[in-house]
Structure 1
């Protein structure tokens, strides 16, 4: 397990209430995928592919930083150059897309903490159902709404899926997902942080009341900070793009943060820099403006 880094601090410039600086040339671009780099049909446009390649050719590292598990990364695996790395599962894993989705780093959610979260949310929000994401796949409760393209490896109560003698117990827990059929998404997030925040980190990226639960201190920002430190890159040299609450820590940490025009209100409020919407290739548009300076 890689220890969590110190929690990121807000940027010294470019935050709400100050005028955004003209685009600078970063050493690293960190971009979310869904709702940010990808269009609404989950495709990567030709314009975006060209912009990413141009950035890499100019010596700028590009990191995909996403809530997606590693097995969902095929949509962009051909567009990572050089290092081949992506940050997945909201910072819980670093994966080499050039080497068959090999896990380079895992920052797991410990079993005892996962169980504590399950028990706390069952008490605070009756009707919550759970899924457990491990390095080898996803496992869910019978009432958890499955995705048609991502079948569960096993189905059972969360307590059984997290048991010491579970068939998959040797696989680290990447994150736990919690779904509630009735609560508003942001209300569910607040409730979860209040009732179980001592055991894990909570965020969300879905339009539904689906929470993503990671180990304490694990976020897109803290893992990105580790990757940058290993490369001698400072936060002021990082340009970041995001659209949902799971991007907030990353945008607060990066020196050049951009909210997408289609972003969640909390993300739009987090920075004065705004990129065009994902459907308008907003990430590509900003990269082009930087490279054309």
Structure 2
């Protein structure tokens, strides 16, 4: 960690932050979660994003979305500015830059199938839940009802309804479960047997992800830093939920959103305005001295 602290941006009034230290000039990589962080609660791109990305590119600062969303979804969202951008997709299990895979961490097929069968049992027991089998090429689901597919489409532009999600011909990098109730209270505890050997991560109010123990946004970010020769002191990170915790650890300039999960606020070194107050862009502008 760098010895000089980053300026603190308060949630209520970022204009009261101290002036950026000289260390801010060394930032070379900015990584942000999407939902609840960069996007507002209506899932909208914040005003000024494209101008900010153009200025970051001019300054030689790499911008990287890090999300539970699939690569195809992120690539579509940033299609006009994707050249040179690194995408940390599927909660760190799949990292792509300029169409080339930088890293991946696929599940063993037997484990993926076991999770799908566990979700089937949950659903049979009355839990309103469905599994999204996340492959490198596509996502695969067994539920075909419109309510479930509407949630899937938000994050998985490439998806297929299949009869048997345990038999897909793809590298499965993650199993995501959507629970129409509380994922933290219902689905995650039901997957406790998998936590002995794999990660069971609550990634949102309604989402739980099952991944290899070695897979997370933080591990993916550290591999990206090594690939590019960028240090934690040169990295700025934004997050709001539990799947962002290890990513925050990989950056000296770590920011929790004002409305983040309490554990994220406790873990981050600094606090940014909320996602509904354009907190990511306002913080970047303040720390790097960009025009608002």
TM-score scaled by structure 1?
A: 0.78
Hey, what does 2:162 align to over in structure 1? 155
C-alpha contact (below 8 Å) 1:92/1:174 kept by paired residues? yes
Gaps of 5+ in 1: 1-9
CA 43–119 in structure 1, closer or farther in 2 if over 3 Å, else same? closer
1:237 Cα offset (Å)? 2.1
Hey, what does 1:174 align to over in structure 2? 173
Query: C-alpha separation between the residues in 1 aligned to 2:191 and 2:247?
Result: 19
Hey, what does 1:6 align to over in structure 2? none
Hey, what does 2:104 align to over in structure 1? 106
Query: C-alpha separation between the residues in 2 aligned to 1:227 and 1:235?
Result: 11
C-alpha contact (below 8 Å) 2:253/2:269 kept by paired residues? no
Deviations 1:77-110 (A, max 9, x none): 32345x22211000111123x54xx544332111
Hey, what does 2:228 align to over in structure 1? 231
C-alpha contact (below 8 Å) 1:116/1:199 kept by paired residues? no
**3-state DSSP of counterpart to 2:204:** coil
1:232 Cα offset (Å)? 1.6
CA 152–237 in structure 1, closer or farther in 2 if over 3 Å, else same? closer
**3-state DSSP of counterpart to 2:87:** strand
**3-state DSSP of counterpart to 2:48:** helix
Deviations 1:179-217 (A, max 9, x none): 4455x3223465256321133222233322x21122221
Gaps of 5+ in 2: 11-16
1:130 Cα offset (Å)? 2.0
C-alpha contact (below 8 Å) 2:221/2:250 kept by paired residues? no
Output the aligned Cα RMSD: 3.2
Q: Which moved more, 1:190-199 or 1:24-33?
A: 190-199
1:131 Cα offset (Å)? 2.3
1:223 Cα offset (Å)? 0.7
1:136 aligns with 2:137: yes
Hey, what does 1:3 align to over in structure 2? none
Q: 1 or 2, which has the higher helix percentage? A: 2
C-alpha contact (below 8 Å) 1:66/1:90 kept by paired residues? yes
C-alpha contact (below 8 Å) 1:55/1:61 kept by paired residues? yes
C-alpha contact (below 8 Å) 1:131/1:138 kept by paired residues? yes
C-alpha contact (below 8 Å) 1:48/1:283 kept by paired residues? no
TM-score scaled by structure 2?
A: 0.78
